[in-house]
A and B are shown apart, each in its own frame.
Chain A
């Protein structure tokens, strides 16, 4: 099934001096998906986002928002975007309400009720008439989100959105973003250098390194263990004996081991056999832990590959 693209990025490039900060990136982001830009600090994520929202000029390439070219019709394209670039900086000498009023006035047809609505939505309604100076970082983050939602955007762009949020806040944001995407068809673009965050939040992830797009993958595909088997870590009292037993009875080689742990690559179905062989040989088995192929593994494999190819 082919879904409609909300954001179409083609050949996006930013060159400053001799350096290619962003190098020929093309991405399509679909309606209703949470899309992650993942990469180490300095990989070009923020520069990419700044080009999408028009804060910095493009050396080359185009960005279409719902089919509107953002270079040709900036106002029309931006009407559909709500964004926070890096930290949500607000006017500290104004109240939360005045800040939202300020941004509501900048949109053409935002009613005053919408301000109350978004304030409630992000859980700031009780403190909305306090000066932003008195807000915690988490509250400022939520005020930033309220600002981004004022226009009921169809594309929401958040740069490092979990910065400064506590674990509960992160969980809340995550479920809220997923809800926006699934129920209201909003396309959400988030950037992060935190792999674990992206794993939990995104449908698809683009891996960016040194300004280049290394790969775009479905998160669900990346986390699933490869068919060859998962790596299991087995904690035992006698590693030497255990190694021999597994080798003789199941032809399993230890991938690595230390004083009381062995790593073997096998399938889930073999685990009962492993345990029963070990126990009947008098080896005490304390724990058996599957070591998932996470986004992190995939990420590391990919970026290491990327470096060695250069």
Chain B
């Protein structure tokens, strides 16, 4: 299994576009940090500045969705899936190695986001003021909570992207659909306020920050409920992806 994951990683990191993604995250952090430094009016610490760049993780998640979806569909569109599945490995193992590699990529992407924004702003303002109070706790503590919760939602969206790409035959369409779910899912779900079942929708639960800031999307939602819903979706989507992928006729 280690070898299969090595393979998938080789296919992700030997492509230039992967480095373009990392490059754009790093350069966006740099550009925004310098703009803030040059034109910002409020007094600020390095940690607060890093926190203000948190929204870049949304772009990072889009990159993760692209990579995760593509890891399955590109094999079909290039025809390499025929070679990949006629080796002495079961489809389940091939799929699992792709999934693990996508999760590792997601981890890399978010860690890059965090480390670069902390480092750049630490250099600009110094690393002091870690425990400056903010409405929901020390600024460092809140930043960590944000990254942990965004990692959880990233894993969920990567799982969605994986499911869609194993159902679909089209590269572009499946990626587009996954990104649409990511961008519109939560806000569309919010419009379903008032329906009893709306709190069981995946997108109402992906962002666990709602419990830290104390504003759940719907009334009656609890952290325990959200975690349970996420686990159920996580298992359900993975089982569905696996069963579709392992039975699918490869006609590419």
Contact = CB atoms under 8 A, between A and B. Distances in A.
Interface of A: 50, 53-57, 74-76, 78-79, 81, 83-94, 98, 101-103, 105-108, 144, 147, 151
B60 to A, nearest CB: 23
Contacts, number: 76
Main secondary structure of the interface of A (DSSP, over half): loop
Given A56-B250, A89-B78, A105-B3, A83 B86 contact: yes
Interface of B: 3-4, 6-7, 10-11, 14-16, 78-80, 82-90, 247, 249-251
Contacts of B251: 50, 56
A151 B85 contact: no
Contacts of A89: 78-80, 82-83
A281 to B, nearest CB: 64
A57 B243 CA distance: 13
B209 to A, nearest CB: 38
A74 B250 contact: no
A105 B3 CA distance: 6
Contacts of B15: 93
Nearest to A83: B86
Contacts of B84: 106
A54 B85 contact: yes
13 contacts: A54-B86, A56-B251, A85-B86, A86-B82, A87-B79, A89-B79, A89-B83, A91-B11, A91-B80, A93-B15, A94-B10, A102-B7, A144-B83
B87 A107 contact: yes
Contact of B82 (A85, A93, A103): A85
A236 B23 CA distance: 79
A79 B250 CA distance: 20
Given A57-B249, A94-B10, A106 B89 contact: yes
A54 B247 CA distance: 10
A86 B251 CA distance: 11
B79 A74 contact: no
Pairs of residues from A and B, 3 with the lowest C-beta to C-beta distance, nearest first? A89-B79, A105-B3, A106-B87
B177 to A, nearest CB: 25
B6 to A, nearest CB: 6
Nearest to B82: A85
A42 to B, nearest CB: 13
B87 A103 contact: yes
A91 B77 CA distance: 12
B11 to A, nearest CB: 6
A93 to B, nearest CB: 5
A198 to B, nearest CB: 22
Contacts of A94: 10-11, 14
Contacts of A151: 88
Given A89-B79, A94-B11, A57 B87 contact: no
Contacts of B88: 75-76, 78-79, 106-108, 151
B21 to A, nearest CB: 15
A51 to B, nearest CB: 10
A206 B90 CA distance: 30
A90 B16 CA distance: 17
Nearest to A74: B90
Contact of B7 (A86, A88, A105): A105
Contacts of B87: 78, 103, 106-107
A21 to B, nearest CB: 11
Given A54-B86, A86-B82, 9 more contacts: A55-B250, A56-B250, A57-B247, A57-B249, A78-B88, A89-B79, A92-B78, A103-B83, A105-B6
B125 to A, nearest CB: 41
Nearest to A159: B82
Contacts of A57: 247, 249
A151 B87 CA distance: 9
A135 B94 CA distance: 27
Nearest to A144: B83
Given A56-B251, A57-B249, A93-B15, A102 B10 contact: yes
Contacts of B90: 74-75
Nearest to A79: B88
Contacts of B3: 105-106
A89 B84 CA distance: 10
B83 to A, nearest CB: 6
Given A50-B250, A102-B7, A105-B3, A55 B14 contact: no
Contacts of A101: 10
Contact of A55 (B7, B11, B80, B85): B85
Contacts of A75: 88-90
A107 B93 CA distance: 13
A87 B90 CA distance: 22
B86 to A, nearest CB: 5
A106 B88 CA distance: 7
Nearest to A87: B79
A143 to B, nearest CB: 10
Contacts of B247: 57
B83 A88 contact: yes
Contacts of A106: 3-4, 7, 84, 87-89
Contacts of A78: 86-89
